[in-house]
Amino acid sequence: MEKRKIWFITGAARGLGLSLARHVLAQGDAVAATSRTRESLHQAFGTDSDRFLALEVDLVSQASVKEAIDATVATFGRIDVVVNNAGYAQFGTIESLSDAELRSNFDVNVFAPLHVLRHALPHLRKQRSGHIINIASITGFQGGYAGWGSYVASKFALAGLTESLAAEVAELGIRATVVYPGPTRTGFLSKQSLLTAQNTPTDYGAARASLELHLNELDGRQAGNPDKLALLIIQAANVDNPPLHLFCGTIANQLAQEKMAAVNDDLECWKGTAESTDY
C-alpha cells in the first residue's frame, strides 16, 4: 500500500473545505486544516489526533501562514497536497467597488494562496514531490457576470497563477491543478461568504438582477454536490498525471465550452486583420 498523504487544506471549517477534509480523513490520509478559529475546526472534526491537526490561521498574514506550514511539517514530517480553498465573493459593479473592498477580496482570494505557496513550496521542492490544488470557480474562466467583477478577477488571477506555477514546478516533480467548480451547494451565498458593495447605482439593472437571482433563487438550490466535488478532487490528487484544468459539474463544463467557442469565433472573425499587426 502507498503511504498516506498529508493534506494542507485552507478554509476547512465549512463548505467545500469541510467536505474535502472529511473525505480525505475517511480514506486514511492526514489533514492539517486551517480556519480563522481552532474551535470551529474542533467542532467539525473533533480533537487533534495522529491524522488531524487544527490550525488557527490568519491567511492574510505571512507570519501566521508560515507558522501553520512549519507546524504541519513538524507534526507530520512533510506535505503532499496543498489545497488553497479559502475565499469569498465580493459583489458590486466596477464603478461602485471601493479600493478597500477590492483589496480585501484580493488579499484573501489571491495573496493568501500566494502566502501558502511561498512557504509550502520550499518543502515540496526539497521532497521533489507534491500537488498544489487551487480552488477557483467557473467564473475564473468564463467571467461574463454583471456585478461580480472583483470575484471574477480574483479567480482569473488564481487560474493564471496556477498555469505559471505548473510550468515552473514540473521539473521538480510537483504538479498543479486549478479547479473550476460550477454552482455548488456549500453556503457560498451566505453572509460569511458573500459581501456586497455599499453603493451600487440603480442604473446597473443587470447587476442588481444577478444579485437577486443568486440570493433569492439559487441559494440552496445549486446543482453541485460538495461531497461529489470533494471526491473528484481526491481522485485527481491520486492519479499519476493530474489535470491542470479541472472543470466540475455539468454547468461548469457547459460554460467552459461556450467560452471556448466564443473565443474561437472572435479569433476566426478577426484573424486576418489581427495577424496583419506583425512586422
Segment holding 125, helix H or strand E: helix 112-127
The residues near 104 (Cβ < 8 Å, ≥ 6 apart) are 90
Output helix, strand, coil percentages for the chain, rounded to the nearest 5: 50, 15, 30
> What's the Cα-to-Cα distance from 121 to each of 12, 46, 132, rounded to whole Å?
20, 29, 9
> What's the Cα-to-Cα distance from 108 to each of 60, 82, 85, 143, 253, rounded to whole Å?
6, 16, 10, 19, 26
> Which cell is 101 given?
473592498
- Active site members: 151
